[in-house]
Structures are given as structure tokens and as C-alpha cells.
């Protein structure tokens, strides 16, 4: 039996939710919202050629001049993904654009607000997955709308690339410090549970259900137990404490790829204080400054 109402519902749904690859991707969209959606969709797909279509002429040249890894980093930062994904465009109840970038590690969502037009300028507020709000500025150039600013800052591709790289390094170093604290807590928990220190980090790793033991204490993730997480390598050794009969331990964290996954190395001394310094990839020591 024919169901015209059901077919209509399907058609309406298709109008609201469709892959972005069906949209124009040549940078000549006449609507600034469509241009911004297409630019973010290109970033989601890690498609550098299409992304360039939505940059001003100067920024497009600067983008092409960046090293390949920096170009990739710019797209990842804009798309809020670590790997290329699939963009999907839809509309909310107020007919505002919603763009989702679905990647292996999760989905980033961009909810567009009402566009403000000022002659050859357009400003579009965007709410992103983590609850943060920003605003993209676009300018009309060469028959289409081009990205001009991010928030209150003009979109300077080389400068943004440097700033974002520094921000990523800082985040990686902060994560390394947090992982050192997690390992320290796990080792102390292990000592209380089994009356001794573990011989190696591997003993802190996951255990099968109801099979926790001194060899598989299930206190940290598999990656941390293997000594590698978030671009850092972790080392552990049993050390002699302040008194001859006191057993202590030390931990160290070194960047996997110095200058890319982190600059500073970190060291947890027998007293539990974290020291850190730029050691050019070598191990930090108790002689380095204490991290507050």
C-alpha cells in the first residue's frame, strides 16, 4: 500500500540531513553560512585543496607554504578531530546550520547562530562540541565568501599554526604530568594492597574480570602500563629512600618526539615532587626545577 505521508517525511528528512559533499565546494557560494560550512567540512575531511578555496588569497598562499604536517595540524584544529572524518550537514529547529564531523575518535559538532551582514563582511557565531563559543568572520572576495577572522583575531594562518602548535605542546606536557600523578597514585595503591612496590609498570595494568593479582593489579590503562601514553614515554625504578630501610621509587616522563609531542621532560623524585625542564629529549633529574 502506498504511504504518501511517509514518503514526504523521508523527503523532508533528506532536505534537512545530507552529506556535505553534495554541496558546492568551489569557494563561490553566495551565502556566507554555506561557505563556512563548506570550509569546516573540508577541514573535517582533511581536504587541503577544498579548504584553500575558503581562504583569502594571501592566506591561501601562506597555507600552501606551510610544511605538510603544519597544514594537517591547522585542519585538525579547526575540525576538532585528530583524524579525517565524515561531515554531515543538517538544520536545527530555528533553521540554523548544524555541521557534525564524525571521526574514528568521536564526533565534533558545530552549531551556527544567526549571521550578521555588514556590506562585504559577515560574522557567524558558532557553538562547538565542548560548549565553547566563537565567531567566524568572512569577507566577500573573488565572487565568494572567504574566512577572515576567528573570534576577534584576524585569521593569520602562519601565526595561528604556531600558536596552536604551542598550545598542543602545552596540553601534551600537562597530560604527561597528570599521567605521572596517576602512576604515582597507582604505585602507592599497589604497595598498600600487596605490601611491596611493583617490579615494573606492567604489573599495574588491566586484569581479566575478578582476577586482580600482583602481576595484573588493574590500576592504570594498558597504555600507561606499557609505559607510553599521549606522546610521552614513562620510566619507573625502585630507589633507596631517606632511611636505609625505606623503599621508595622514582618516575620519569620523556617526550616521544622532542619538539612535537613535548619539550619538557619530567621526573618524580623519591619524595613525590615533580621536576621538569627542557632537556632536549633527555631525562629530567631531581636537580631540575620543581613543578608547582
Each as own residue / partner, the long-range contacts of residues 15-20 (CB below 8 Å, 24 or more positions apart, any chain) are 16/90, 16/91, 17/88, 17/89, 17/90, 18/88, 18/89, 18/90, 19/86, 19/87, 19/88, 19/89, 20/44, 20/87, 20/88, 20/89, 20/99
Residue with the larger pLDDT of the pair 82 and 231: 231
- pLDDT, tens digit, 9 for 90 and up, residues 161-181: 788 788 889 999 999 999 999
- pLDDT (mean) for 67-83: 88
pLDDT at 38: 96
Higher pLDDT residue, 153 or 235?
A: 235
In tens, the pLDDT along 92-141 reads 998 999 999 999 888 999 999 999 998 899 999 999 876 688 999 999 99
Domain 4-155 has CATH 3.10.450: yes
Q: Write out pLDDT tens, residues 224-245.
A: 999 999 999 999 999 865 555 4
pLDDT at position 233 is 97
Confidence tier at 290 by pLDDT (50, 70, 90): very high
User: In this predicted structure, what is the pLDDT of residue 82?
Assistant: 83
Query: Which among 118, 120, 119, 154 has a CA at the least distance from the CA of 136?
Result: 154
As a whole number of angstroms, the distance between CA 84 and CA 42 comes to 10
What average pLDDT does the structure give for the chain? Answer: 86
Q: Which of 11-15, 89-93, 202-206, 214-218 has the lowest mean pLDDT?
A: 11-15
C-beta of residue 236 within 8 angstroms of C-beta of residue 249: yes
The pLDDT, as a whole number, for residue 176 is 97
Which pLDDT band, with edges at 50, 70 and 90, does 28 fall under? low
The residue to which cell 597528570 is assigned: 178
The residue ranges of every structural domain in the chain are 4-155, 164-278
Per-residue DSSP letter, 288: S
pTM of the model: 0.61
Amino acid at each position: 500500500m502506498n504511504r504518501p505521508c511517509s514518503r514526504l517525511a523521508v523527503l523532508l528528512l533528506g532536505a534537512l540531513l545530507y552529506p556535505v559533499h553534495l554541496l558546492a565546494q568551489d569557494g563561490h557560494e553566495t551565502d556566507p553560512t554555506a561557505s563556512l560550512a563548506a570550509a569546516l567540512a573540508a577541514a573535517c575531511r582533511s581536504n587541503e585543496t577544498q579548504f584553500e578555496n575558503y581562504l583569502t588569497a594571501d592566506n591561501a598562499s601562506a597555507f600552501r607554504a606551510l610544511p605538510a604536517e603544519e597544514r594537517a595540524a591547522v585542519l585538525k584544529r579547526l575540525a576538532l578531530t585528530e583524524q579525517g572524518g565524515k561531515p554531515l550537514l543538517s538544520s536545527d529547529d530555528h533553521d540554523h546550520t548544524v555541521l557534525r564531523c564524525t571521526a574514528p575518535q568521536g564526533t565534533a559538532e558545530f552549531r551556527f547562530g544567526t549571521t550578521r551582514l555588514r556590506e562585504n563582511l559577515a560574522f557567524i557565531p558558532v557553538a562547538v562540541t565542548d560548549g565553547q563559543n566563537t565567531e567566524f568572520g568572512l569577507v566577500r572576495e573573488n565572487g565568494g565568501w572567504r574566512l577572515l577572522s576567528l573570534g576577534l583575531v584576524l585569521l593569520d594562518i602562519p601565526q595561528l599554526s604556531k600558536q596552536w602548535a604551542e598550545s598542543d605542546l602545552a596540553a601534551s606536557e600537562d597530560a604527561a604530568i597528570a599521567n605521572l600523578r596517576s602512576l604515582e597514585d597507582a604505585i602507592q595503591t599497589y604497595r598498600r594492597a600487596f605490601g611491596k612496590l611493583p617490579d615494573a609498570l606492567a604489573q599495574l595494568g588491566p586484569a581479566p574480570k575478578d582476577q586482580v593479582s600482583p602481576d595484573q593489579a588493574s590500576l592504570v590503562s594498558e597504555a600507561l602500563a606499557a609505559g607510553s601514553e599521549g606522546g610521552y614515554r614513562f620510566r619507573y625504578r625502585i630507589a633507596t629512600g631517606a632511611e636505609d630501610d625505606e623503599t621508595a621509587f622514582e618516575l620519569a616522563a620523556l617526550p616521544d618526539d622532542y619538539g612535537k609531542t613535548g619539550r619538557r621532560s619530567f621526573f618524580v623524585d623519591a619524595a613525590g615532587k615533580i621536576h621538569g625542564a627542557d632537556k632536549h629529549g633527555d631525562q629530567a633529574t631531581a636537580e631540575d626545577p620543581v613543578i608547582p
